[in-house]
Chains A and B, each alone.
Chain A
């Protein structure tokens, strides 16, 4: 099986944008093509990660629209929808296209336009992924987070403040990310005094609603230096995808995300490494509690110990295992279909030594992209070429 390299990457400004989804996708796509030094018509495959452009703005058929806008015809196109993990699933699809030999050059563009909707409407679009018996009870993804956070704090005797420290850390990281929606620090008192959204979680425990796009260009490792002669490319050394139950309350342990466990097991085995070999990670902190769950289910910390790592600064940018150097979804923003792509963008920047003020020492990085409330997960491991 051919090893797959990433030779181009881009992301747009995340936040409240005037552009609509087609324009956002084209902005990121054109920048990634430029970064790789190729044109649209060089692409064999073009994928778009997007959850709900039809529901949000009435625009469907976005891959074909993007192919036209970038003059990429006759590239094969497809839209990848796996809810909030559409980006990770798109990375998986792009990796498959190269690894299988079906494509010699593939671009993935993830994007979403959301901020023109009210919070209530956007929340409902996202909650539409739930089972009918959940949906009719008025459940939202934030309420799943509140339910899980209460149980986690109770079972593992974790202080409420530890969740707030995730928000503080990721906002601090976001200050150095020029693409982040929020580039300002918050203090713990601000987090703990913010309005309750799904208790015990408060406003600053949640990511914002965001517009934005990100893109990656993939090719076989054997030809990567043709696109990146200076060696500034990364290799996907491991990737795994997995699902957990659709109905969240049916999971044996509500504080364990089985899809994270299973997808990372596959990715670690493919890469021939374990969690101790990871130097930097981007986790899906749509809610602060998710950073604890994923850091444990990825094997970075023992079950119930993830909160202690945050308390002790282990996951700070200058800590032993920096997590969410980009600011995470919490600070950078969460334009659904773009988020998993932007996570890999950050890891690409870290392992190629191009992360600017966010740079940490990293040869190997991991991105974990979660859809639903752990329903679908893709874990991707990147290694720098040098």
Chain B
């Protein structure tokens, strides 16, 4: 996986690399596996050796749902998908997947938590790509302490 970006494996979430947009950071481990989100060790117990920016990969929709009963600070409705990244022939580890919102049609990540834009339609097997959103959910509206985690991240939109 020579195209993977390596760092000191501190476990911090993705920060801006060469540009302004944060990376979609997965962890790479000594046994060659990749996970999102990063963990202290791989599923087999191998140590972290670097990161992989999942922005570089397309993914396929494994399954999806549209939730109409959303918690405080979450857009309603909220279409979510589990996607599996196409890591290439050189990768033989367990599937690399993420759960994320489906993007809205009004461009980029599509508005903040309160946006009411139309969300793309997806189906099982569709090809999608990550798109950055600076706020996926309104911090502090729910039970979780706002400072305990970040609230930006990646949605997915269909690849035309």
Classify the secondary structure of B's interface with A. Answer: loop
Question: Closest residue to A134 on the B side, CB-wise?
Answer: B99
B91 interface residue (CB < 8 Å to A) = no
A247 interface residue (CB < 8 Å to B) = yes
Classify the secondary structure of A's interface with B. Answer: helix
Complex interface residues of chain B between 77 and 110 (CB less than 8 A to chain A): 78, 80-82, 94-95, 97-101
Contact status of A136 and B137, CB under 8 A, knowing A146-B65, A150-B124: yes
Stretch at the interface among B1-9, B15-23, B44-52, B142-150: B142-150
Report how many residues on chain A are interfacial, defined by Cβ distance under 8 Å: 41
Per the bound structure, the CA–CA distance linking A146 and B72 in Å amounts to: 19
Contact status of A120 and B99, CB under 8 A, knowing A133-B153, A137-B136, A150-B63: no
B114 interface residue (CB < 8 Å to A) = no
Per the bound structure, the CA–CA distance linking A146 and B142 in Å amounts to: 21
Question: Closest residue to B83 on the A side, CB-wise?
Answer: A249
| A144 CB → nearest B CB, Å | 9
| A52 CB → nearest B CB, Å | 9
B63 touches A151 (CB 8 A): yes
Which of A137, A143, A196 lies in contact with B137, CB distance below 8 A?
A: A137
B66 touches A127 (CB 8 A): no
Contact status of A150 and B65, CB under 8 A, knowing A132-B148, A138-B137: yes
Contact status of A123 and B65, CB under 8 A, knowing A136-B150, A154-B124: no
Contact status of A196 and B68, CB under 8 A, knowing A132-B148, A135-B149, A136-B149: yes
A148 interface residue (CB < 8 Å to B) = yes
Some 17 contacts from A to B, beta carbons below 8 A apart, are: A121-B143, A124-B72, A124-B142, A127-B71, A133-B98, A133-B99, A135-B142, A136-B153, A137-B99, A137-B101, A143-B67, A143-B78, A149-B65, A150-B64, A151-B63, A249-B82, A254-B62
